[in-house]
């Protein structure tokens, strides 16, 4: 039996007790196949019955040929941000709800993995965003995002005002609840809820989606993925009432003198899918689109 990936790391939503059975089945299956495996230490410490190796996330990123992520899309988003610099491929087992990224069901997990681990799989690369906040040329903080970077109001019931530039060209000053800057991956997330378009994951593009804009002519804009987007808080908006959030998690603050710069991160993420992976099949299944009529 040929093993394409010899050393396999496992990450999981360790606060969720429902993942335990899946992790134990997965660990036994991989050990029987002869793979070297390590489960993230925080998950291993919470899992009764785990007797195999454990490691920190950093150690898994350094030593793994493949990382299997057990959970929902949020778990994979977090893994992508922490693994991208190491160029290690990720494979998602879906225990969440929608599962646009984690596309392996636990019901057929072992059969699907058996094919993938012998080389029968599809691989794609997707890019992440980097958000930098601070004085121009001297950012104080930097974060990565796989789905989106969102500039939004914070603990107030009124809109915020901000200026937007793309590659140094002024776009507009707008008043809104905020602005979503999303990757093609993130076009199925918050940006979709905000009325943005669905982007093919293979596109080198970004979508800018205003959140409840005051001017009704404000509409989502699609720009090149190589663009640099600069945003500055302006007008009567108090910067203390604004936050910059990456993938719905990490939150940054900005002052009036700061520039919020969003651009493509230099390290893409590698995703492994079952052979025959079709993004449109996923859209039909997850968004409830109609299929072909039965003849």
The mean pLDDT value for 35-51 works out to 93
- In the prediction, which pLDDT does 164 show? 98
Helices (H), 161-220: 190-193
According to CATH, the topology of domain 7-127+268-287 is: Rossmann fold (3.40.50)
Known catalytic residues? 73
pLDDT of residue 98 exceeding 50, the answer is yes
> Could you tell me where in the chain the CATH 3.40.50.10330 domains are found?
7-127+268-287
Percent of the chain residues topping a pLDDT of 70 = 96
Q: 239 near 233, Cβ under 8 Å? A: yes
Res. 96 pLDDT band, cuts 50 70 90: confident
Q: How far apart are CA 265 and CA 259, in angstroms?
A: 17
pLDDT tens-digit profile of 215-231? Answer: 989 999 999 999 999 99
Q: 60 near 43, Cβ under 8 Å? A: no
pLDDT of residue 295 exceeding 70, the answer is no
pLDDT of residue 1 exceeding 50, the answer is no
- In the prediction, which pLDDT does 294 show? 58
- In the prediction, which pLDDT does 52 show? 93
pLDDT of residue 2 exceeding 70, the answer is no
Q: How far is CA 276 from CA 131, 223, 273, 286, in A?
A: 34, 29, 8, 17
> How is residue 237 written in tokens?
């908006």
pLDDT tens-digit profile of 227-250? Answer: 999 999 999 999 999 999 999 987
pLDDT of residue 179 exceeding 70, the answer is yes
pTM for the model stands at 0.92
- In this predicted model, which residue has the larger pLDDT, 180 or 21? 180
Q: Is the dihedral of CA 131, 149, 209, 280 positive or negative?
A: positive
The mean pLDDT value for 91-106 works out to 83
- In the prediction, which pLDDT does 250 show? 78
pLDDT of residue 116 exceeding 80, the answer is yes
Range scoring the smallest mean pLDDT among 122-136, 150-164, 198-212, 276-290? 276-290
Architecture of domain 129-264: Sandwich (2.60)
Percent of the chain residues topping a pLDDT of 90 = 77
> Could you tell me where in the chain the CATH 2.60.200.30 domains are found?
129-264
Q: How far apart are CA 43 and CA 9, in angstroms?
A: 12
Instruction: Give the closest residue to 72 by CA, choosing from 167, 157, 151, 189.
Output: 189
DSSP lists the bridge partners of residue 142 as 132
């Amino acid at each position: 039996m040929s093993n394409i990936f010899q050393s396999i790391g496992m990450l999981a939503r360790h606060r969720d007790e429902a993942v335990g059975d899946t992790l134990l089945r997965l660990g036994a299956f991989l050990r029987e196949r002869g793979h070297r495996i390590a489960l993230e230490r925080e998950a291993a410490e919470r899992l009764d019955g785990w007797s195999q190796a454990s490691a920190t996330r950093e150690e898994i990123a350094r030593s793994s040929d493949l990382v299997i992520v057990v959970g929902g899309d949020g778990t994979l988003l977090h893994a992508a941000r922490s693994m991208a610099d190491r160029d290690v491929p990720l494979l998602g087992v879906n225990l969440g709800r929608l599962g646009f990224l984690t596309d392996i069901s636990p019901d057929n997990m072992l059969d699907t993995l058996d094919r993938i681990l012998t080389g029968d799989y599809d691989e794609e690369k997707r890019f992440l965003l980097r958000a930098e906040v601070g004085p121009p040329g001297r950012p104080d903080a930097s974060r990565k995002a796989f789905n989106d970077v969102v500039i939004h109001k914070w603990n107030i019931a009124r809109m915020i005002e901000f200026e937007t530039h793309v590659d140094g060209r002024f776009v507009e000053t707008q008043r809104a609840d905020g602005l979503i800057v999303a990757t093609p991956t993130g076009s199925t997330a918050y940006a979709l809820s905000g009325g943005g378009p669905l982007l093919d994951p293979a596109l080198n593009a970004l979508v800018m989606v205003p959140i409840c804009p005051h001017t009704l002519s404000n509409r989502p804009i699609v720009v090149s993925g190589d663009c640099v987007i600069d945003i500055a808080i302006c007008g009567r908006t108090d910067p203390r009432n604004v936050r910059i959030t990456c993938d719905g998690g990490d939150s940054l603050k900005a002052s009036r003198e700061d520039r919020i710069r969003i651009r493509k991160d230099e390290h893409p993420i590698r995703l492994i899918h079952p052979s025959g992976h079709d993004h449109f099949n996923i859209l039909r299944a997850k968004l409830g689109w109609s299929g072909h009529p039965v003849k």
